[in-house]
Amino acid sequence: MHLTRPTAAIIDLDALSFNLRSARDFLGTGTEIMAVVKANAYGHGAVECSRRLKAEGVERLAVAIVEEAAELRDAGVAGDILILGGIWPEQAELTLKYGLTPAIFRLESAEALNSLSIGRETRTKIHIKIDTGMGRVGVPLADAAEFARAIARLENLEVEGLMTHFSSADDLGQSDFTNFQMDRFGSVVETFANEGIRPPILDLANSPASVAFPRSRSGLVRLGGILYGLGGDVLPDVPQPALMPVMSVTSEVGFVKKVAAGDSLGYGRTFTAERDSIIATVPVGYADGYPRMLSNKGTMIVAGQVAPVVGRVSMDWTILDVTNIPNVEVGTKVTVIGADGEDRILAEDLAAACDTISYEITCGFSARVPRLFKSS
């Protein structure tokens, strides 16, 4: 008897551990891994994934915003947590309360942290984010010297790291620009050194750069997607660590019916049966994170066989044609992402059909899809 809807995301923590170890082996000794657990660990469950990563010896975690870090702290996750997206000045008190390390690229935020740190007779660690070509956030290259001088005057701040972010490390066709960004970063390191700021951490590489550009490793790399087994559509075509998918999404058939040739299905009547058919409806829709763009072109695995999505994906339901699959009934297992029998559907497959990347697919599964964590 079901007390809850059967749609769920199963998170394999052993696969997470495997990917971390595989990445460590690939990168070699001397390269520390900062695990990126932002956006609820790319949809995989930040608290549980962080706990497993910490148990595997990861010393540094990274999130996007203060609120994500607060969730981890409130759950008892200790150690260094870097706020990749920086903080607003008004968040300085929360940053100190939780013992967080923000990336800084606005002087107002640094000044607010310094002021509070003086009042509490403490020093606060920060990383400074430099824009070497991403064009998003970061201290502009032309302002680096002035920014360094201003930071040097804030005596209660400790610059633990300098960091940047690559725009195109996943595209080997743009390797010249990636190398250009590294050259720019090197010049900024010298600029800060001239102002007496020589941080122990130089932090450049994301997942693609860490795999494809050994020069970018600089002792510390930020790994996100590959920890969760998301590499097929993000990593460039170079030797890379072996990875296992961490997330699978499963459900069950919620309704089965026969339809006659000529019957239409779903919103907008975008599918009309060309034959007498058996139709199964599955309780997962775009409110759960199954993209509406998969209408009439996605697939799911039913009882170990592939079934096409027919009609539009709606908010709460998706319709499948199971005419060629015997013995489908209410309660029959449905695999949305994952493997069953000889067939497998990856997040990368859904992403390709939607002209996006696997990160968006896993991040997109909403809070109403419970995460069920498994481990041996």
Tokens of 134: 């991403």
Helix locations, the chain, DSSP H: 13-27, 38-42, 46-55, 66-74, 92-97, 107-119, 144-152, 175-194, 207-212, 347-353, 358-364
Task: Please say whether the beta carbons of 102 and 113 come within 8 A.
Answer: yes
Question: Which pLDDT score is estimated for 148?
Answer: 98
**CA 261 to the chain's CA centroid:** 43
Question: Which pLDDT score is estimated for 3?
Answer: 73
**CA 251 to the chain's CA centroid:** 23
Q: Do 247-345 and 12-228 fall under one CATH topology?
A: no
DSSP state of 43: T
* Annotated catalytic residue 267: yes
Mean pLDDT, consecutive 10-residue stretches, the chain (376 aa), reads 87 98 95 97 98 98 98 98 98 97 98 97 97 97 97 98 97 96 97 96 96 93 97 91 98 98 97 97 98 98 97 98 97 97 96 97 97 95
Catalytic residue chosen out of the listed positions 258, 267, 297, 374: 267
Question: Which pLDDT score is estimated for 1?
Answer: 58
CATH architecture, range 247-345:
Beta Barrel (2.40)
Task: Please say whether the beta carbons of 270 and 292 come within 8 A.
Answer: no
Instruction: Tell me the CATH class for 12-228.
Output: alpha beta
Question: Which pLDDT score is estimated for 218?
Answer: 85
> What whole-number distance in Å separates Cα of residue 244 and Cα of residue 37?
17
371 beta partners: 9
DSSP state of 309: B
Helix (H, G, I), strand (E, B) or coil at 91: helix
Task: Please say whether the beta carbons of 53 and 33 come within 8 A.
Answer: no
- The string of DSSP codes covering 55-90 is HTT--EEEESSHHHHHHHHHTT--SEEEETT---GG
Tokens of 310: 């027919």
Residue of 255, 320, 316, 254 whose CA lies nearest to 285: 316
Question: Which pLDDT score is estimated for 269?
Answer: 97
Looking at residue 307, its amino acid is A
3-state helix, strand, coil in the chain (%, to 5): 35, 25, 40
**CA 127 to the chain's CA centroid:** 21
Helix (H, G, I), strand (E, B) or coil at 35: strand
Task: Please say whether the beta carbons of 304 and 341 come within 8 A.
Answer: yes
Question: Which pLDDT score is estimated for 25?
Answer: 97
DSSP state of 125: E
The domain segmentation of the chain, as residue ranges, is 12-228, 247-345
> What whole-number distance in Å separates Cα of residue 4 and Cα of residue 116?
47
125 beta partners: 158
Tokens of 376: 């041996």
Catalytic residue chosen out of the listed positions 38, 42, 228, 286: 38
The total of other beta-carbon atoms located within 10 Å of residue 302's CB is 24
Q: What's this model's pTM, rounded to 2 decimal places? A: 0.96
Question: Which pLDDT score is estimated for 139?
Answer: 98
